Amino acid sequence: MRVGYVQFAPEFGEKAENLAKIEKLLAGKKADLWVLPELCTTGYQFTSKTELEELAEPVPEGESLKRMQKLAQESGAYFVLGLAERAGSVFYNSAVLIGPEGLVAHYRKVHLFFREKLWFAPGDRPFPVGQVRGVPVGIMICYDHMFPEAARILALKGALVLTHPANLVIPGLGQLTMRVRALENRVFAVTANRVGREAREEPALTFTGLSQIVSPTGELLASSPESAEEARVAEIEPTKAQDKMLTPLNDLVQDRRPEFYQDLVEGVK
């Protein structure tokens, strides 16, 4: 399986241009699954609900997803991309897995970061796993990386590849945690981070690039510089992520002791 990501700087509000940029960066490149950044059609720094009303789109009927499905049909590839979702009068920071056949999986960011909390509603549905040519693929978004539960649940649901559309702003953080998420769950992880800067309000945000593809043992299979706009691909053998053995006597899934983890969900009493 060939998995890849596109790292670029979306221009705020310029959906058609951003989709054209994605197509340009993908031209001549082949992968089964591409991961694109968080909010990659609209840009990141919303400053009002009015902007969301203008730019957010319904899933899956929105224009941007129609265009992405057409690209999937033309190329035969699957895409995980982040976008601003409108669901009636509620807005979500969402990501979808879309392929030639249409929408495969739909996620609404559970852990909202910083000023996203002013504009978006927190996700209201489980972390999803969808199939790409028979390979289970999980979706999480950016700041979800700080919550090991997100990646763990996806891995326990059978995901062999974690996809992670991101707009990371704290230098080095998500790139490090995603290597850990990959190795503690023995899965592949693809982080598509954006680059560039948005200064639509204070504080201005600089996005950290360094998109990466990580193996189930935490090795970098591909990575990008801090500011380049580019697409990269790695060839992976997804079944390697079915092997959870750390030593001949340690299976990282079977060794779990959920009966001692109740405080995690019930709260410490």
Q: Could you say whether residue 140 binds ligand ACM (CB under 6 A)?
A: no
Helices (H), the chain: 15-26, 49-55, 63-75, 116-119, 148-156, 173-185, 262-266
Give min distance, CB of 143 to ligand ACM, in A.
3
- Alpha-carbon span 19 to 74, nearest angstrom: 15
Query: Is 38 marked active-site?
Result: yes
Q: Could you say whether residue 207 binds ligand ACM (CB under 6 A)?
A: no
- Alpha-carbon span 169 to 173, nearest angstrom: 9
Cβ distance 6 to 134 under 8 Å? Answer: no
Of residues 68 and 166, the one with the C-beta less far from ligand ACM: 166
Give min distance, CB of 142 to ligand ACM, in A.
3
Query: Is 40 marked active-site?
Result: no
Cβ distance 193 to 225 under 8 Å? Answer: no
Applying CB under 6 A, which part among 28-36, 46-54, 97-105, 163-171 lies near ligand ACM? 163-171
Cβ distance 146 to 180 under 8 Å? Answer: no
Q: Could you say whether residue 168 binds ligand ACM (CB under 6 A)?
A: yes
Tokens, residue 162: 């974690």
Applying CB under 6 A, which part among 156-164, 166-174, 218-226, 233-241 lies near ligand ACM? 166-174
Q: Could you say whether residue 3 binds ligand ACM (CB under 6 A)?
A: no
The residues facing 92 across adjacent strands are 85
Tokens, residue 160: 């062999």
Query: Is 61 marked active-site?
Result: no
Residue 85's alpha-carbon distances to 38, 90, 108, in angstroms, are 12, 8, 8
Ranges within 24-43 binding ligand ACM (CB under 6 A): 38
Give min distance, CB of 168 to ligand ACM, in A.
5
Q: Could you say whether residue 195 binds ligand ACM (CB under 6 A)?
A: no
- Which is the catalytic residue, given 15, 51, 116, 142? 142
Q: Which of 3, 142, 183, 187 touches ligand ACM (CB under 6 A)?
A: 142
Residues in Cβ contact with 181 at an 8 Å cutoff, skipping those fewer than 6 apart: 145, 148, 151, 162, 187, 189
Q: Could you say whether residue 143 binds ligand ACM (CB under 6 A)?
A: yes
Q: Annotated active-site positions, please?
A: 38, 109, 142
User: Site residues (CB under 6 A) for ligand ACM?
Assistant: 38, 113, 142-143, 167-169
